[in-house]
Amino acid sequence: MKFVSQLNEFYVPTLEIDHGKIVKNPEIPSRFEKVIEYMETNHEKISIKDYPLNYIYFVHPKWYVEHLKKLSEKAKDGEYLPEVFLKDRILDSGTPITFSTFDAAINAFYATLTGADELLKNKEHVYVLTRPPGHHATSNLAGGYCYFNNAAIAAKYIFSIIKERICILDLDFHHGNGTQSIFYEDPNIIYVSIHGSPELYFPWISGFEDEIGTGKASGTNFNFPLKGNITWKEYEPTLDKALEIISKFLPSVLIVSLGYDIHSDDHMGYFNLDGNAFKKIGEKLIAINIPILFVQEGGYNKEANFEAANNLFKNFERR
């Protein structure tokens, strides 16, 4: 298995607002240090290429991209926490802007398309280990630590080349409201998400079972909201159902928005899944026999991230 890594070590947000308090921001490079060590020891790393910004415009309008760039440039004297949501185009107060935000988001875009090209070239599984994450970013709103929606950009890019159906499986603890909204009217991209119930957990605004897509895309959006503290015993049948749906659509490519925050030791998620559960997830994913592009989303405990990656990607070693 091949992988691409772009942790943007220069991009270190320090603040966010949580429950009305300014707290430390957990979306930092060190959360993936041990994952990088594991991947470099056991898998083949590929070099990142640059891509034209036109590919971002598949998902995000040019004005939004330029707006984020201007916000970053204005933050050269310090970190900026969004105050006026409609003006700032940021969904929540937990997504700060630093002088490095735009460059980091662009680098994550480069890494993701590098991985997509590698998958198309060799029809192999590829892991894109990058930050900032992306699945909470809508076409014109940042949020949830996300600025550009990496998985959505990859899906649009791949579809523009192969013109065949693509599925996105979102396994992050938090519903990918951005990804869902981007493809809610697009019958060519199937979105399937397993996540903590939005009645209790971020992003609260989407991820309910009755959200099925609209127009020609009706019946192509699938949400599986679950209660907190579930174990593998409760999670497995839901994953099996999700994979059964994906198999019925016969996609040419599967994109997995991968969140390690479903691990029991992650303080940002509320499932009780251990390392062995990730091993079983990997076994099930490899068994569906579809080229997979893994795109990193959440995961905020360094040790839990390592255990999750180690167990998940053991299934893909020497393949």
| Distance between CA atoms of residues 161 and 171, nearest Å | 26
Active site residue 135: no
> Which residue of the set 135, 136, 175, 263 is catalytic?
136
Q: Are 235 and 275 in contact (CB under 8 A)?
A: no
DSSP state of 297: -
241 contacts: CB under 8 Å, gap ≥ 6: 224
210 contacts: CB under 8 Å, gap ≥ 6: none
Rounded to the nearest 10 degrees, the angle between the axes of helix 150-162 and helix 101-122 is 40
Q: What amino acid is encoded at 81 in this protein?
A: L
140 CB-contact burial (10 Å; exposed 0-12 / middle 13-18 / buried 19+): middle
297 CB-contact burial (10 Å; exposed 0-12 / middle 13-18 / buried 19+): buried
| Distance between CA atoms of residues 187 and 198, nearest Å | 24
Residue appearing with tokens 């691409």: 4
300 contacts: CB under 8 Å, gap ≥ 6: 26, 27, 31, 261, 266, 267, 268
Q: Which residue numbers are catalytic? A: 136
